[in-house]
Amino acid sequence: KKMVTFRERVSFDRAPSYYSEVTPINPWESTFNSKQHLFQQLISFFFILFITVGIPLTLFFTTRNHIEAIYSLLICAILPLLYMVSVLIRYHKLDIFSFLLVLTYIISGVVSLATGDTTITLLRDSAVTAVVALLFYATMLPIENKWIKIRPLTFILSTEMLIDAKATYHWINPKGIRQEMSVVDWVWSMRKIRIYHYCLTCGWATFLMADYIVRVIMVIATDISVHNIYLSGSIIVIIELIIMSVLGVIVAVMTRKVTREWVQDNDYTEKYGWKMEQLRSFQYQHHEEDHEDDEEIEEVQDR
């Protein structure tokens, strides 16, 4: 039987019209375009947020008037701790967000040992803000190994909300070799995105620390009433949220632009993908033909 070579069966001149689905797809951009996927990720994110933040805070405010503050805070740390352990067992990595929450509750519990008048209570609450600011700064440490990957907290939260942790990005490099990488790691590999999130995390940490300093000054160095201190603190928090939320949206838009440029410059799926598809199709057909020939030979031998 005449052997048919691949080059005789497949033309390399142009891609077939039916192979339009190989156009490179930006995983980050497709996240925004897929409403169903975005909705699922938002539900998952808010569910995790409800378990690790919502329930603990509810427990704290409902129990702090009945038991000592340190015990209330330790109770709050239970759910984030359980979630952190489950992630560690399931994915063999440390969930930084839960770890930071547990650490925050524990440190706040230690700070809460200082009891007394209203001034000390206000200072204690302000100290919690300072601890959170320090934790934002801590996530800027460039530590990454098999068990732990410390990345800016804003990057952690945005990727947990928008990207499936198991999602993988497949592409073909300029040499025609197939590549794959976790979407989260792929986004993090881009220098501009790392800079954006380092700056954004630093901004959050700085605003929170400034909030702490302003509250301490109002408590110690002024005669402002407790009510006005709480009111002023709430206004400061609202301003912080508005400013940082706007910056967060800007970072998301710039991230989309950077990933789109990377795909255009480095993903050659549109150039090579259809050829690989035809090669796989030819190999499959050739295998089927060989299989049919083997069956014919077996039938002849049986006769």
Domain ranges (residues) in the chain: 25-291
- Tell me which amino acid residue 221 is: A
DSSP state of 50: I
Evaluate if residue 85 carries a pLDDT over 60: yes
Q: Summarize pLDDT for 4-43 with one digit per residue, the tens.
A: 343 333 333 333 333 333 344 556 555 544 556 556 656 7
How far apart CA 276 and CA 164 sit, in angstroms, is: 27
Q: Cα-Cα-Cα-Cα dihedral of 190, 196, 197, 202, to 10°?
A: 140
Give, in order, the Cα–Cα distances in Å from 73 to each of 63, 109, 154: 9, 5, 24
SS3 for 132? helix
User: Cα 198 vs. chain centroid, distance in angstroms?
Assistant: 14
Phi then psi for residue 169, to 5 deg, are: -100, 125
pLDDT (tens digit, 9 = 90+) per residue, 283-299? Answer: 545 555 555 555 555 55
Cα 94 from Cα 104, distance rounded (Å): 16
The length of the chain is: 303
Task: Say if CB 263 and CB 24 are below 8 A apart.
Answer: yes
pLDDT at 22: 38
Residue 227 or 135, more confident: 135
Radius of gyration of the chain (CA): 28
User: Can you name the residues that pair with 144 across neighbouring β-strands?
Assistant: 149
| Closest CA relative to residue 159, chosen from 86, 95, 208, 81 | 95
Tens digit of each residue's pLDDT (9 = 90 or more) over 167-217: 788 888 888 788 888 888 899 999 999 999 999 999 989 988 988 888 888
Q: Evaluate if residue 3 carries a pLDDT over 60.
A: no
Q: For strands 178-182 and 168-172, give the pairing.
A: antiparallel
Contact status, residue 203 vs residue 44, Cβ threshold 8 Å:
no
Q: Which helix (H) or strand (E) holds 224?
A: none
Q: For residue 117, give every residue at least 6 positions away whose Cβ sits within 8 Å of its Cβ, in sequence order, or none.
A: none
Tokens 């220098």 belong to 191
Tell me which DSSP letter residue 111 carries: H
With 50 as the cut, is the pLDDT of residue 1 above it?
A: no
State the angle between helix axes of 226-266 and 118-138 in degrees (0 to 180), rounded to the nearest 10: 10
- Evaluate whether 264 touches 217 at the Cβ level (below 8 Å): no
- Predicted confidence (pLDDT) per residue in 265-280, tens digit: 888 877 665 555 554 5
Q: Which of 120, 277, 263 is nearest to 186 (CA)?
A: 263
Query: Are the beta carbons of 200 and 152 closer than 8 angstroms?
Result: yes
Residue 275 to residue 259: CA distance in whole angstroms: 25
When the pLDDT of each residue in the chain is averaged and rounded to a whole number, the result is 71
Q: How far apart are CA 218 and CA 213, in angstroms?
A: 9
